[in-house]
Chain A
Amino acid sequence: MAESRTLTLNMGPQHPSTHGVLRVLLELDGETVVKAKPVIGYLHTGIEKTMESKLYYKALPCTDRMDYLAPMSNNLGYCLAVEKLMDIEVPDKVKWARVCLAELTRVNSHLVWLGTHALDLGAMSMLLYTFRERELILDIYEACGGQRMMTSYIRIGGLAHELPKDFEQKVRNMIKIIRERLFDYEKLLTNNPIFIGRTKGVAVISAEDAMNYCLSGPMLRGSGIKHDLRKDNPYSGYENFDFEVPIGKNGDAYDRYLLRLEEIRQSFRICEQVLDGMPEGPYRAHVPGVVLPPKEDILQKMEAMIFHFKIITEGFKAPVGSVYQAIESPKGEIGFFITGDGTNKPRRVRVRPPAFVNLACLPKLVEGCLFSDVVCAIGSIDIILGEVDR
């Protein structure tokens, strides 16, 4: 009788389907995965330490660079946390604009996810289509903040600039185009027997396990648990908007695919409601000494210039205490835990990364499955290694 042996295979860190530099140590018995161990840390750049060494203002651009597919959500989470720490109330217009931008980010992130996930499973054309559509959103970013990816547009106490004049028209145009094209995507994938064969019943996680692994976002909702921070603990005025939270049933990769497509549609609904009822007002809160005065005032008013200079050079002093602000980013719950210690730099900035926590359940998803399903499982978690390793 032949002796049975397992084979240890190293997948990554340089592997195209690991979406960055994730390494997975696999123990294989034939084609079946016996054991999987994700190894992370190849992209660790000490972002938290860097943020702790900077003024509150200057730590903001670091947040873009963690999840580079969802820059606006990260900006929003950080700004809301600092605003909570400093007890700042922002104008309604800022809240609404932020909601719209965060939802655009969700669409952007889900489109890239859809393209790369389908590419991993062999449907190459999806990537070209979704990147074409994503370009429309990046154009809106560029019109807002001048940057396509690392926007840093949402600032503490408001926005960096006034929204562009053609913002509404641009967003409506984008929604119209992508909404139609979503049907094309569905034609390509939803009933595609190969796609169904690769995703249905693959990478399954039950509701109980999802809770036990502390998952969040589409990973949790795919298993049928209706938990969305936009509904449960609304922030930035999400309570004003009417939208559904889609949930899955089986907790497999196919459910998560359907769920993310539906989330894109719901995001469009929210964006349209924002555009229909955008309130008028200033684009930045008026809190002297903490929030930068508007650029126009700096050229006209003495106090504004002094405050601007003081904030840029010395920053502001935060009280002693910790706040935690979580928002629903495209990947799940991203939380910013900021501890002030009475100086102008944060004592601690902790980012609760959704992808990091979600990735920990990878062994559960793939153990006992076929080797080729590992690619599908990694894709369906939707990881961004910049955020996992920080």
Chain B
Amino acid sequence: MEEKIRQFLNSKFSDSIIREDNFRGEQSFYVKPESIFPICEALLENDDLDVKFLKDITAVDWYDHPLAENGRFEVIYNLYSFAHKYRFFLKVFLPEDNPNLTSLTGLWIGANWLEREVYDLFGVTFEGHPDLTKIITPDELEGHPLRKDFPLTYEKPRFSWNKDNPPEVIK
């Protein structure tokens, strides 16, 4: 199955694949950010591969880590082939300034909330998303809590109501 997906990706999207990785038996393909939508669309249309499930979308913040040279944010698409019972990952690296991707809501409606969550917690925006608003954190909270530079305990969270009069830093 791994070989089939590799062939499929190489035949159609050879320019978009940056590299491959296999860690602990899990296959991931690093692709260019702009090609994520066409790849998923082609995968969904291909009945032989039968990649019909989008299991998860999430992100990793590589702030202050050597890996951040590829781009600060790594967004992970977790795809599953039902017929082959096979899971693989598409990963993209996004820059620190204005991280942006194309929304997959046109392909899977279930991507709606998953993308909203990534937007809420990491600040990655999705173009073409019908309702890209906060989903989990309160409306007044500013910033994206799962970014590594978001303070954990030492500083009070900045809400819009205390913006003009910020709380002192507790150390």
A residues in contact (CB < 8 Å) with B: 40-41, 44, 46, 48-49, 52-53, 84-85, 87, 211-216, 225, 227, 232-233, 320-324, 326, 333, 335, 337, 339, 341, 347-348, 350, 352, 356-357, 359-361, 389-390
Contacts and interface: CB of A to CB of B under 8 A. Distances in A.
B55 interface: yes
B112 interface: yes
Interface in B46-89: 52-56, 58-62, 65, 67, 76, 78, 82, 85, 87, 89
B114 interface: yes
Interface in B126-171: 134-138, 145-146, 150, 152
Contact of B78 (A44, A48, A324, A339): A324
A360 B62 CA distance: 29
Interface residues of B, number: 40
B138 to A, nearest CB: 7
22 contacts: A40-B135, A40-B136, A41-B134, A48-B146, A212-B108, A214-B54, A320-B67, A321-B23, A323-B24, A323-B26, A324-B87, A324-B89, A335-B55, A337-B58, A341-B62, A341-B67, A348-B58, A348-B59, A348-B60, A348-B61, A352-B78, A360-B112
Contact of B23 (A322, A359, A390): A322
Given A212-B108, A323-B23, 18 more contacts: A41-B134, A44-B137, A44-B138, A49-B150, A49-B152, A212-B109, A213-B109, A225-B82, A320-B67, A322-B23, A322-B76, A324-B78, A337-B58, A357-B113, A357-B114, A360-B110, A360-B113, A390-B136
Interface of B: 23-24, 26, 28, 52-56, 58-62, 65, 67, 76, 78, 82, 85, 87, 89, 108-114, 117, 121, 134-138, 145-146, 150, 152
A325 B65 CA distance: 24
Contact of B136 (A215, A339, A357, A389): A389
A233 B110 contact: no
B89 to A, nearest CB: 7
Contacts of A357: 110, 113-114
B110 A215 contact: yes
